[in-house]
Amino acid sequence: MRTFSFANRLGFVLAFVLLLTPPEIDIPEFFYMVIFSALLYYLLLIPLSLLPFPVMYGLSNFLFVILYYVFPYRKKVVMENLRKVFPEKEEVELKKIQKEFYRHFCDLVFESLKIFTASNQSILQRVELVNAELLEGYYRANKSLILVTGHYANWEWSAVTLPFHSSHTGTGIYKKLSNPFFDKRLRETRARFGTKLMSTKEVAVFFEEHKEQLCTYGFINDQSPSDPKKGHWMKFLNQDTCMLTGVERYAVKYNYPVLYGMITRKKRGYYRIEYKLVCENPVDSKPNEITEKCSQINEEIIRSAPAYWLWTHRRWKHKRPEGI
């Protein structure tokens, strides 16, 4: 099999950089961004991705010291979120959760890098799927599915193993990266595992184009909507929270059953996924029923082991608008 050296790959990037340049972007600025991205990818990220798992977790331990003690990364945000969600817990317990979260967060950084080079088998050995027969039953019944999860445990490994969960074509929604080089790498990596990606701006067209195929559509459902007036407001983790409604909207439109992927951490570097039925016939559901059920399942998982949710994001930056 023919292989390409770093020089070959970099030459390819140089040759096509002008073709990739959007007309509204300054060419020199775009050129340097792509070159820097290629150097970062091939000289740092790929070598890190190729490290054996024990070495990788050793570096994760070092990163934990840096992000927790030396150059704290969003520690105030994490603690503010924990205090809001768990007002009943003592400060000592909250700090214990915070510390455990940062250890897991650093593991997640390296585990995400591992996807660039890891084989299907090496990831599948570390992600246990409990009830694949549930998804396969819908495939035999000629039904596509909407699968929902949150930013919990390792949602990245769960996403890349999606095509192996059933005979459906595995698809997922992602937010397109502003850096075209890394956006292309992300799509290529997911495609290597068999997952088709659609950007948030392509969702409506993608669903329509694939409605004759049997697909699983993966959604991550606990992001904060950009416009707080367009989501559904409810109580989530003791907070007034604006929820995305895309899952419910597409489930009702196409009447695809909705399942929640409950991801849990078994031990370091090993995860478990179990699917739970949220709604069999979305067209018969009440308004916001599916959105609220998904959020309630997510909350139960978070409360059972809070250290493994993504506490660094400002989930409650929006305030409920008056009259909603």
Per-residue pLDDT of the chain (324 residues; tens, 9 = 90+): 444 555 555 555 545 544 555 555 555 666 677 788 888 999 999 999 999 999 999 999 999 999 999 999 999 999 999 999 999 999 999 999 999 999 999 999 999 999 999 998 999 999 999 998 999 999 999 999 999 999 999 999 998 998 888 999 999 988 888 888 888 888 888 888 888 999 989 999 999 999 999 999 999 989 888 888 889 999 999 999 999 999 999 999 999 999 999 999 999 999 999 999 999 999 999 999 999 999 999 999 999 999 999 999 988 988 888 777
Q: What is the pLDDT of residue 318?
A: 86
Q: What is the pLDDT of residue 206?
A: 95
* Chain centre to alpha carbon of residue 275: 16
Q: What is the pLDDT of residue 174?
A: 87
The residues near 248 (Cβ < 8 Å, ≥ 6 apart) are 282, 285, 288, 289, 290, 291
Sign of CA dihedral 308, 50, 126, 59: negative
Please state the φ and ψ torsions of residue 168, each to the nearest 5 degrees. -65, 160
The torsion defined by the Cα of 299, 305, 310 and 312, in degrees rounded to 10, comes to: 110
- Output the CA angle 9-10-15, nearest 5 degrees: 100
Which residue is listed with tokens 């775009």? 30
Q: What is the pLDDT of residue 324?
A: 72
| pTM for the whole structure | 0.88
Q: What is the pLDDT of residue 2?
A: 47
- Output the CA angle 121-148-241, nearest 5 degrees: 135
